[in-house]
A and B are shown apart, each in its own frame.
Chain A
């Protein structure tokens, strides 16, 4: 064998090795499982949902839903990566909606005033959550259940006290409406673009910024993270304020879109946001997950929820599919994670 062909042989082997390596790396990425789930679910509903599901009616219905849940699922996912939970988002959403409706609808102050108030409610509740989580040893699940009940009670009490009913109306001005509550082509809510914005910002924060490493470190081992000089208390406060802000933001877009705010809205977001994150490969044990994964998880969740109406199945089948997806996601995450953790580059 000549030296020439020997060299080529080595190069060829190297290329195969490289390809095999990159496939291996892909399967070890946290979002791989959620991407597969997304593809499978989309294909299934494309088969049963037909042309309507594949057309703009189908796309708009699941995109609209994905945007609403997705904006909340992102920071909730970050919290879960850090090993924490936030149940109170389900109460913050209607609290913010009603704040906007009461300030700008009932009292007829300018819209930006009401919106600022609504967002402030979210940030304040997040601040309180963060304070309680960092200053006590009580698990975040219990703390945020407590603040959820508290905020729900305050919202209901004050709404009845001020407006005298459980629903408050608002007629947003055209600028506000076009920024936060317009549907493009009568179908695609503007919230979808806000969701994209949230994804970009949070992607930058988590994956391209030292701040993101801190979040992962916090979820991996809180004590070591603090010993390594990470300001864990400040970080937890920021995470809770972020999730409060996001929930309040969705509340604001809802009240502007529908022109009214209801006390009872929002509780479905509690488990939905957690499910999106879990389907997206985030583990509650902390330290694992990615923004792209959460986005995939959210889209999968929304496709199942909305696609079921196009498929002709009994809509309740949707819950069974989501339950099954959730368990599969959880089990495969367990596998993928074990693979990634046990992986060691082969010795040459």
Chain B
């Protein structure tokens, strides 16, 4: 009993239950073959691309902020790499650096505007989202005359960022797992993690306690924008070309994954493991439906229901965690 209670009070609890629930639903009603599903690459690839962005966005949400400009930063990262190294033929290192530098730059703008004004970060990043979309599209059209830019990456770059393991699994999955481990360590084992929770819990008290809240917020925005341009860069190297569109879908997918993963938008509560499992759950809902007998048109409905149920669970588990006191002996 104590064991179950301890499990339920963890931020990841709802996401693990959601994962089990979704898989069980697909097994019972969709007659899905679990062996086939586990072996399939489609949902893991989907989850990895989503997950690398979801973790830093999740950290921002734990800190009480929001970043939707990632929807423009994914194509921005891929187009930058392709324009520098594909169109102008400069070495791939320059293209990659350019993409990541753009991420840092946009992250800085988001962060600075957020800490210097009283405007909510949702609105600020909505502005950079639209602005960056325009900049990426116009830059591609002006410089290359085309909305899709080809890129030939050398062997080593392909090996590191654009390889297909076993001809099916993208190498970005390994990056995702590695980044999850790094972020889990930072958030849960270092003081920086404590700072992030404190920031989301109560910004004023956090500052009064001596936490450099301004710098911390800016760093978090830089991380999320750079992670997004990193994913775009990997996609360009993998597919040998960059497309200007295709980032908008990520916005709601990322937020949903994070929320299914047990992070509260009000800040101060969440875990990296939860975000990881939430992303997996989300990917299985979307991609797993192809392995079932359920018509795939219903997948959005299943997402909506999963999201609302996960949020309800998060809410009740959180109040359990907050009101918990060990029983007196």
Which A residues are within 8 Å of any B CB, using their own CB? 85, 87, 132, 136-139, 141-143, 145-154, 156-157, 160-161, 267, 271, 274-275, 278, 283-285, 314, 316-324, 326-327, 330-331, 333-334, 337
Contact = CB atoms under 8 A, between A and B. Distances in A.
Given A149-B301, A153-B301, A323-B127, 14 more contacts: A137-B266, A141-B255, A143-B311, A145-B259, A147-B304, A150-B303, A156-B298, A160-B295, A274-B123, A285-B119, A322-B134, A323-B129, A324-B131, A327-B113
A147 B308 CA distance: 8
Interface string B123-134: 110111111111
A153 B304 contact: yes
A87 B122 CA distance: 13
B297 A330 contact: no
B252 A330 contact: no
A132 B300 CA distance: 19
Contact of A153 (B66, B129, B133, B303): B303
Given A314-B141, A316-B137, A323 B311 contact: no
Contacts of B126: 271, 274-275, 278, 326
Nearest to A278: B123
Contact of B119 (A137, A274, A323, A334): A334
Contacts of A85: 122
A85 B252 CA distance: 14
B306 to A, nearest CB: 9
Given A145-B255, A284-B123, A157 B298 contact: yes
Interface string B248-292: 100010011001000001100000000000000000000000000
B297 A327 contact: no
24 contacts: A139-B265, A141-B122, A150-B300, A150-B303, A150-B304, A152-B301, A153-B300, A153-B301, A154-B301, A157-B298, A271-B129, A283-B123, A284-B122, A314-B141, A319-B137, A323-B127, A323-B134, A326-B126, A326-B127, A327-B128, A330-B123, A330-B124, A331-B113, A334-B117
Contacts of B138: 314, 316-317, 320
Contact of A145 (B134, B252, B298): B252
A137 B315 contact: yes
A274 B251 CA distance: 15
Contacts of B131: 319-320, 322-324, 326-327
Nearest to A80: B123
B311 A136 contact: yes
B212 interface: no
Contacts of A271: 126, 129-130
Contacts of A161: 295
A137 B295 CA distance: 33
| List of 6 A-B pairs having minimum Cβ-Cβ separation, nearest first | A323-B131, A153-B301, A319-B134, A150-B304, A153-B300, A149-B304
Contact of A314 (B142, B248, B308, B311): B142
A87 B300 CA distance: 15
Interface string B213-246: 0000000000000000000000000000000000
Interface string B85-128: 00000000000000000000000000001000111101110111
